[in-house]
Amino acid sequence: MNEFRKLPSGEQIVQGLPWKWSVQGTIFIIGGLGFMFDAWDVTLNGVLIPLVAHEWGLERTTAAWLGTANLIGMALGAFVWGTIADRIGRKKAFTWTLLIFSIFTVAGALAPGFGWFVAFRFLAGVGLGGCIPVDYALVGEFTPSKHRGRVLTAMDGWWPVGAALAFFISAAIQTSTDNWRLILAVMVLPAFMVFWIRRGVPESPLFLVRQGRREEAALVIDDLVRRTGAVPTPYTLPEAKDVPKLSAGSWWQQLAAVWRFNWKITLTAWLLFLTILLVYYLALTWMPSILADAGMAQSTAFFMTAIMALMGLLGVGIAAVLVERTGRKWLLAITGPLSALILVIVALTLNAPSLAIGWLLAFGVVVQIAIPVLYTYVSELYPTEFRGSGFGWASTFSRLGAGFGPLLFAWLWPVFGLANLFLVAGALVLGAVVFMAFAAPETKGRQLD
């Protein structure tokens, strides 16, 4: 009996495996590609607003509803798919999110009017909204503990790639045609391809273990051991158990459960997601219009915003290097408020375009140190049974803020000025990180449980 008790659990075996690019790295790449399309689609809101407003003769505040509808759809999708991932499996949610997104993006490209277009952007958002919580849960649960911080941080490297592609491709298309429908259509084919590839990804072994699906879990774990070249070791798996089924009330049950688990952790996650991502979405949504109003050609404004997004790759690299050295909380506490402060400086230097662009590129680096660390941190705060829904509800809260924030920004911009609005956003971030300092633990080096 004593020998039996010393056997490692199946979860410990998975998290102690060596890292292999051909095994866990493949899942990282496939998950990251979905994350890339999330960035691509969100970024397109900033591209589409001026183009759609021009075609249908809309005011800026009216055209902004397409971005709001898309992000509200993502808010709905985040907690719906996060709960589905926790109840019936990561793999199903991982696969179907991209298919739904692709179908309604095609429909949006064919929309006959602005109302239809807004509706289809909302439904595409419902599909894509699950990518971040589901992808982070799946990739994190396949990743060995000692590599998890760097791997989950590096996941965010796909975001600047997707954001930059959105602006670069839009700028290239706009030089030859003003057809915004083509901009949407170009994104769909690779998204369909990634959906097809995702069908071959195995279910998360940690999810199977927690569900009591012992035979399925053992097959996945043994295959991982074999493919990574680890030494086979006997391990224990819990007995099968009754688990909650997916139902109409599942979403609210999971919401109640994540608050009962630890209200301080959940409030920390929601506040960090809301404030830090609000700052980033404000920049993504309105920076092309801000630069155009400052005197840049529209295509140049797209191009410079693309460079800002691409600079995020440097930020992700810095985050990956520092996240296991300094821990998650210190990086968030510094880079979150600093990113908002840099946007204030951008707003104050718009009359000196070269200086403003320099600060804008600095913002692209700093904010992309904060965001991947945020995603890594929140995915580690919750246990396996709440990881998808805990992250999903935090993402929902941020998407709601990101959806209505830019809309409110469009109304307040002429009244209060850019710098003051960015300063308010920075104060919100500062409040969130102060609360985090006292309410939530550091997760560096912890095993997922």
More confident residue, 43 or 19: 19
Higher pLDDT, 432 or 43: 432
The answer, yes or no, to whether residue 394 has pLDDT greater than 90, is: no
Q: Which of 58-67, 170-179, 216-225, 407-416 has the highest mean pLDDT?
A: 216-225
For residues 62 and 257, give the distance between their C-alpha atoms in angstroms, rounded to a whole number: 38
Mean pLDDT across the chain: 85
pLDDT at 20 over 90: yes
- pLDDT level of residue 343 (50, 70, 90 thresholds): very high
What is the pLDDT confidence band of residue 199, given thresholds at 50, 70 and 90? confident
By three-state DSSP, how is residue 236 classified?
Answer: strand
**Which pLDDT score, from 0 to 100, does residue 111 have?**
92
Give me the pLDDT at residue 2, please.
47
Residue pLDDT, tens place only, 222-272:
999 999 999 998 998 877 665 556 555 666 777 888 899 899 999 999 999
Q: How confident is the model at residue 286 (pLDDT cuts 50, 70, 90)?
A: confident
How is the chain split into domains, by residue range?
2-439
Instruction: Give the number of other Cβ atoms within 10 Å of residue 268's Cβ.
Output: 25
Classified as helix, coil or strand, 239 is coil
d(CA 138, CA 207): 9
Of 399 and 222, more confident: 222
Q: How many helices (H) and strands (E) does the chain have?
A: 21, 0
pLDDT band for 438, please (50, 70, 90 cuts): very high
Query: Which of the two residues, 175 and 28, has the higher pLDDT score?
Result: 28
Residue 69 corresponds to which tokens in the numbers above? 């509808």
Q: Residue 202 carries which DSSP code?
A: P
| pLDDT value of position 66 | 85
Q: Which pLDDT score is estimated for 342?
A: 95
2-439 has which CATH code? 1.20.1250.20
Distance CA 335, CA 319 (A): 10
Residue 334 has pLDDT above 80, yes or no: yes
Query: In terms of pLDDT, which residue wins out, 151 or 298?
Result: 151
Cα 366 to Cα 96, 304, 336, 370: the distances in Å are: 33, 17, 8, 7
Beta-carbon contacts of residue 449 (< 8 Å; ≥ 6 apart): 11, 383, 384
And the tokens for 120? 């289809």
Q: Is the pLDDT of residue 296 over 90?
A: no
pLDDT band at 3 (very low <50, low <70, confident <90, very high): very low
Question: What per-residue confidence (pLDDT) applies to 428?
Answer: 95
Q: Which of 74-78, 94-98, 119-123, 302-306 has the highest mean pLDDT?
A: 119-123
Give the pLDDT band (50/70/90) at residue 448: low
Q: Which two tokens stand for residue 409?
A: 């920004």
- Mean pLDDT computed over 1-20: 78
- Element at 53 (helix H, strand E): helix 24-56
The span from the CA of 331 to the CA of 337, in Å, is: 11
Determine the average pLDDT of the residues in 55-74: 84
Residue 152 has a pLDDT of 83
pLDDT at 1: 43
Distance CA 324, CA 386 (A): 24
User: Which of 55, 75, 5, 13 has the alpha carbon at shortest distance from 394?
Assistant: 75
Helix (H) or strand (E) holding 6: helix 2-6
What's the confidence (pLDDT) of residue 123? 94
Helix (H, G, I), strand (E, B) or coil at 327: coil
* pLDDT for 316 beyond 80: yes
What whole-number distance in Å separates Cα of residue 240 and Cα of residue 201?
23
Assess contact for 421 and 413: CB atoms under 8 A: yes
Q: Which structure tokens are listed for 224?
A: 């991982």
Q: Could you identify the residue written with the tokens 């509808």?
A: 69
Instruction: Please give the model's pTM, rounded to 2 decimal places.
Output: 0.73
Mean pLDDT, rounded, for 293-316: 82
Of 336, 342, 327, the residue nearest 435 (C-alpha):
336
CB atoms within 10 A of CB 29: 14
Q: Which two tokens stand for residue 422?
A: 């960015």
Tell me what pLDDT residue 246 has. 54
Averaged pLDDT for residues 105-117: 91
Cα angle, residue 92 at apex, residues 133 and 135 outer, rounded to 5°: 25
Looking at per-residue pLDDT, the higher value among 369 and 353 belongs to: 369
Question: CA torsion 346→348→351→356, rounded to 10°?
Answer: -20
